[in-house]
Chains A and B, each alone.
Chain A
């Protein structure tokens, strides 16, 4: 028993050091005001108090809501003073109850009411293990988001990113870390003195592909963060192997390989280990990723003499240039609905994140920094996470597409880079 306590304490210390600091830099202009009342706690269920806080933090980060924490516990709908909330311009109210059932099991009730129609928009009850409090808070946030906006949230998801710390001995320590979507609950799944690049969650959230230089060259690995299973190394051909990106089925991976020096995009079947060439050009082709239906890939190429973004239609085999504005467009990813691309776009001497409407070719620059890279959509498409440099220091930034809400994820002890956002957890 003592041992377990010490172990948990050690874990806690490690985690406390590594949690990224979340700072909201810019409030959304179109945020929807809601109130989340503190949950009623029955029995020894103090963990339950966290739920309202996690949920309101989630809503505030999303850019779609401005959530305030109610002061008073609401037990039933009769406790709601609708007129007062209407006068306060609050559009919806969330309240709930956490009740201890056994030592580790809790029942959670949650209710959502529209302030104006006074109608119940959502209600549910769950039994939750003590360790699942954070998870249920994210899950409920997604449900409430859906009930209010008619679209999915991105809360019950995970992030992956790379942190870099300069050690006293002059070396650097690279860590591949995973965390919940709110940057809490971080875990380093790989530590190395050699660079780590391009982490990518598998569609089933069980695996992470990444590039490591541990063998003094770029190679692609697949790691299983939740299983006791050996890390798998993907083949390379005497040159670079990099830029892994999963097929939506999870059965194959896109890679950049430089067979005989020529960098092209290949698909590697994880079951048959068969390699299929996707592009063939004497220039650099890299940074490929699939659309969510798996029918198209987008990639970076300098085939025109400039670095631009191209789309290959896998049904017809046709490759067409997607970007025409600016001299440098790279590392594009499809939005989940497949209509837009997020990419790195050079403006003068600055590298910023831009959104491109694929059909109309309208390009919108959505950031104003100097050195942005690695944009990636949240699974609902509502936000984009990217890496940037702030005061010579690598941080992650998340911007909401509606409202332009921006928050930052920073490490006190080092740099953060190479973000990747998982799909929905299963």
Chain B
């Protein structure tokens, strides 16, 4: 396969070779992870926002919990458990969190403000993620599902984001260009999404990832040339 050999030729090929062992991959990924992020374990949230909540809360996890609240508000489909708890404990509206209502012992309006702030921060985090030039769509070579270096860096940043935001779930949609048969392309699209999931899996994120393939059925460009095909051979990151 021409594509594969080209990728191997690039010096920093991460997952390009099927013969690479898992350990190799993890080590390489970890190195890249550090290169890209500096300190991987620090959760980046602006001080101003976290202080309001963390002053009153007892555990060091509060920052993270607050983000969960934000996630719940921003992505309404997730985290119904904490919301139902809060409505059991207090008469506050459903957007208040267990953590806030229990530890703060404040009235619901205050909590609401806190949550609103958290939502704004959360949006900032997502915006920042997007503004940082991070790709939400990764592209692939013809009939290929190998991840190149550039994409690996992007995936690791996504991994960071997901680790910082434990309530977030990710749907990876694999796609193919129109060339070749539809059923084969359906399989190929899944392989592409699975390649991305494999890297994210190194950060224990697999349980939060749903993989689907649309094959060649949902092209970005419906033209019939390489510039169109390039755009269509892709995996899309859809946060839920």
Contact = CB atoms under 8 A, between A and B. Distances in A.
Interface stretch (B24-32, B133-141, B147-155, B174-182): B174-182
B186 A240 contact: yes
B183 interface: yes
A334 interface: no
A306 B144 CA distance: 11
B78 interface: no
Most buried by B among A213, A218, A346: A218
B130 interface: no
A287 B182 CA distance: 9
A217 interface: yes
A307 B182 contact: no
A370 interface: yes
Contacts of A211: 186
A306 B143 CA distance: 9
A373 B190 contact: no
Given A198-B183, A239-B211, A284 B218 contact: no
B88 interface: no
Contacts of B179: 351, 371
Contact of B184 (A195, A213, A287): A287
Interface stretch (A9-17, A180-188, A256-264): A256-264
B190 A263 contact: yes
B187 A284 contact: yes
A234 to B, nearest CB: 15
B165 interface: no
Q: What range describes how many residues of A lie at the interface?
A: 35 or more
Interface in A294-345: 300, 302, 305-307, 328, 330-331, 344
A242 interface: yes
A416 interface: no
Contacts, number: 89
Interface in B108-149: 143
B145 to A, nearest CB: 10
Nearest to A288: B183
B188 A284 contact: yes
A29 B218 CA distance: 41
Given A195-B217, A305-B1, A370-B224, A217 B182 contact: no
B214 interface: yes
14 contacts: A218-B212, A242-B183, A243-B186, A261-B190, A284-B184, A284-B187, A287-B183, A300-B184, A307-B180, A331-B183, A344-B181, A346-B180, A351-B179, A373-B181
Interface of B: 1, 4, 143, 178-184, 186-188, 190-191, 194, 211-215, 217-218, 222-224
Interface of A: 195, 197-198, 211, 213, 216-218, 239-240, 242-243, 256, 258, 261, 263, 284, 286-287, 300, 302, 305-307, 328, 330-331, 344, 346, 351, 370-371, 373-374, 389, 392, 418
Counting from the closest, the 8 A-B pairs by CB-CB distance are: A195-B217, A331-B181, A284-B187, A330-B181, A243-B183, A263-B187, A217-B212, A287-B183
